Chain A
Amino acid sequence: MKINDVILQTVTKIVVFIILTFGVELFISGHHDPGGGFSGGLVLASALLLLYMTYDIETVHKGIPFDFKKIAGLGVFLAIAGSMVPMLFNEMFLTQKKGEFQLPIFGATELSMELLFEAGVALTVVGVVVTILLTISEDVN
């Protein structure tokens, strides 16, 4: 039976970008408002889930040709390696530093070492969730 999913596909095309933007917003706002690496990562992952459910795996893979296992690994690497950076400056492992920076578009922005750490968390969450999803659904074939 062929399922008619025109509406789902059309809606997804727009909604995915809203969800992705929301995920990034959650991730960045985490320092002062609700959000952060874990929930931001989960929202990003759910956007991808929606894509995979609406279209088939091959189509999505053409657009996003990543190996999500590697993304998860990269996340863990970022979190651990980033935490080691302070050790190079004779600080304790996982010391978090922050400072104000003048960035081209954003203006005066507060950047913290936590950002790197949270990015690692987010990437791991995205990688693991998508890996599990793809593995289970590909098993049918």
Chain B
Amino acid sequence: MIIPLLILLPFAASLFVPSLYTYVHSKKIGWVVMPIPLILFTVLCLHIPKLAAGGTEAFTIRWLNDAGIHFTTHLDGLSMILGLLITGVGTLVVIYSTYYLSEREALGRFYMYLLLFMGSMLGVVFSDNVLVLYVFWELTSVSSFLLIAFWHQRKRSRDGAKKAMLITVTGGIGMLIGFLMLHAMTGTFSIQAMIGMAGTLPSHELFVPAMLLILLGAFTKSAQFPFHIWLPDAMEAPTPVSAYLHSATMVKAGIYLVARFIPLFGGSELWFYLVTFTGLLTLLWGSFNAVRQNDLKALLAYSTVSQLGLIMSLLGMGSAAMLDIPGLDTAVFTAAAFAGLFHLVNHSTFKGALFMIIGIVDHELGTRDIRRLGGLAVFMPITFSIALAGSFSMAGLPPFNGFLSKEMFLEASVAVRELSLPGIGVWIPAAAWIASVLTFVYCMIIVFQTFFGRQQQTPAWVDRGAHDPQFGMLAAPSILGLFIVGLFFFPNVLGRWVLQPAMAAIYPAYGDASQLVPHIRAWHGFSPALWMTLGIIAVGAVLYIFLRQWRVIYTIPPFSWRIDTLYNLWIVQLEGNSRHLTKRYMTGHLHRYFVYILLFFIAVMTAGVSFIWKRAFNFSGDAPITVNEYVLIAVMMTAAIAVLFAKSRLIAILLNGVLGFTVAFLFVVLRAPDLALTQIVVETVTTVLFLLTFRFLPDWKKERTAKRTKVINASIAAATGMLVIVMALIVQGNQLFDPISSYFTDVMEQSGGNIVNAILGDFRAFDTMLEIVVLLIGGLGVYALIKLKSRKGGGNYED
């Protein structure tokens, strides 16, 4: 019961936060928000013992019974890890933002988006129903979009937000289709129920397409190659957001999804190849590109991309344990998945801390460009210590938690080489090793180029001098720093209580999850992994020292290529072309638009009349045409033709009125009092409105149109009229089904009454309801267009 409440609490809170301004000083809004993630974190912590004992907790709120869509939450080890990260890091980020963001910012909006994100992210990890999960998944994209564009006055922020949105939502829609395919295969929307049927699925023809589409969603969200390009641009968001969404939580959603679906897809070789190799490629490309960055935040962005690739590849190797290969030593591969989960937690601690530290440097010195930073260790000792811990942990050095998971990664990469599958070989540990060397290099860049070396004079430095920030700002990264060190010394506490239940969720086929959890040791003899680490340090140090010399390779073609170029080409071309096209046909001349509409109508109708519909006319059931009708039609035609020759606007409108009232009269003759009544009132009101708009129109000038244009216009008008007549006759002559009106009259005969109103208010009431909504929108549209016209010199929001 408690888990749905956990998801709903942030949503509920986000509604109230913006109105806090009235009661709370803007600087203190963060302190009002902070208890929310803290409460959630505490509640989740209280569930840890139950999960560690092997339990799970599911709760269903029944929703759409016919469609099988229910709001089902499923708390197990895997969702627990993510839940703890979302709420734990969330609490720290809120504390940090309270000090980081100036009180002049729109803080109410900021915390509203942040809570919105927190709720949707919890929804993603706790939902068992794939469609509900999908909705929350897209909500995280939306809140991420809002947060990246938080400083929306900057064009770069807006572009970054747009890019992130385009890429992640495209993947998300692919994932939705994948989910629907899964539903088609299994007949259920529940992930747990699907996992229960895992054995029967691989032979199904939709199995591979569903897998590919779900991976597309996961890879776009987790910034895997080649979709990683949105993440560096997302760094335009305020730093607390980067620390929270774009390193610790949201980008882990894809990893969560892959881990969640390992029981379903893990037995497939294609899955193993795709996840492992995409992960490795991302790891290499990300670390390679991180080295070339000058902006510390961009460097961290690429390093996040690379670390996400590392975790992804570990999960891929982990899924190999489920491959159907005789004599397979599964323990090696389950250890890889375990390392992936372990690194997932570690990465959130050290990367979150590093982002916050970079934020502090930026806040204190006004720049994050490493070419303008240096020698800060003396002035900012505490900041420096945390940065050192975070960077060395990321580089994989003891005594920090990153060392443990990095060693396990290297071990796994060596072990997977033994797998007797095509394409597997020594190059996997080689790739892992090269990426680790590059990781080591950029970690050294963070530490040494920022905190050692010559002091650079930045403007902010000259003003205020550099020093550690106030305690509150350091609190959050310090707590993460404690975890970085603490997890190194007590990794098995985490392993036993948090990671073991998660392993049980990934490998439900193994009865006892405790066999899947290796005992983590810092020292495990002279294994290949240790030699690789020593090699990394040696080669990495050399590369760092000669960085300036070999950095030129980034200008040489294969290395200077960027996926961004493709994206920019595509988006810029698309925008340019559509603007060009739109300008060509949106001329601002009303009669041109009429021509487009009518030409389209003529084209569709001509095609229909010539090829699709039966052209049989049937006049047998028609009533005889009397003198009354002939006279009225003659009046209407005269009025219509006379409009064309009217000398003034008033006459034109009056003639139009004649036409309308004659139609009303025709309705009377044809014994349709309701229609006649409505037509009369409508005609009256529109004539008044016509007259009202008179004074805005320029003087009536007899337009001198070329003869050719006149002929074209006349023929378009004539063709439209003819087609309408033909269409009406065809409809009259070819009844495919019994008319529904007989049903209406049958029903009405029993009750008696006005059949027109019964149709409007009862049989077709849904139409009527939507029609008045449209009417309201139209009215408000007129109001908005006229009243809210942009004032002179007002901003143009369309770049």
Contacts and interface: CB of A to CB of B under 8 A. Distances in A.
Interface residues of A, number: 45
> Which applies to chain A's interface (DSSP): helix, strand, loop or mixed?
helix
A36 B674 contact: yes
Given A26-B677, A38-B760, A39-B681, A135 B768 contact: no
B678 to A, nearest CB: 5
Nearest to A34: B673
A61 B779 CA distance: 19
B765 A117 contact: yes
Contact of A118 (B756, B761, B778): B761
B753 A32 contact: yes
A37 B761 contact: yes
The 7 closest A-B pairs by CB, nearest first: A128-B779, A42-B681, A34-B673, A124-B772, A36-B757, A114-B761, A34-B674
Nearest to A121: B772
Contact of B677 (A39, A45, A76): A39
Given A42-B678, A73-B776, A94-B766, A135 B761 contact: no
Contacts of A30: 754, 757, 761
Interface in A55-106: 69, 72-73, 75-76, 79-80, 83, 94, 96
Interface residues of B, number: 37
B270 interface: no
Chain B interface main SS type:
helix
A34 B752 CA distance: 13
Contacts of A33: 754
Interface of B: 673-674, 677-678, 681-682, 684-685, 688-689, 692-693, 695-696, 752-754, 756-757, 760-762, 765-766, 768-769, 772-773, 775-776, 778-780, 782-783, 786-787
A79 B765 CA distance: 10
A140 interface: yes
B309 to A, nearest CB: 50
A117 B772 CA distance: 11
Contacts of B754: 30-36
A135 B787 contact: yes
A42 B776 contact: no
A27 B209 CA distance: 58
A51 interface: no
29 contacts: A31-B753, A31-B754, A32-B752, A32-B754, A34-B754, A35-B674, A36-B756, A38-B760, A39-B681, A46-B681, A49-B685, A49-B688, A53-B688, A72-B779, A72-B780, A73-B776, A75-B772, A75-B776, A79-B772, A80-B769, A80-B773, A114-B761, A114-B765, A118-B757, A124-B775, A128-B775, A132-B782, A135-B786, A139-B786
Contacts of A37: 760-761
A83 to B, nearest CB: 6
Given A96-B761, A96-B762, A121-B768, A136 B673 contact: no
A129 B542 CA distance: 79
Q: Which of B692, B775, B778, B779 is the most central at the interface, judged by chain A CB atoms within 10 Å of its CB?
A: B779
A39 B754 CA distance: 14
A39 B678 contact: yes
A119 B765 CA distance: 13
A120 B766 CA distance: 13
A18 interface: no
B495 to A, nearest CB: 51
B766 A129 contact: no
A136 B784 CA distance: 11
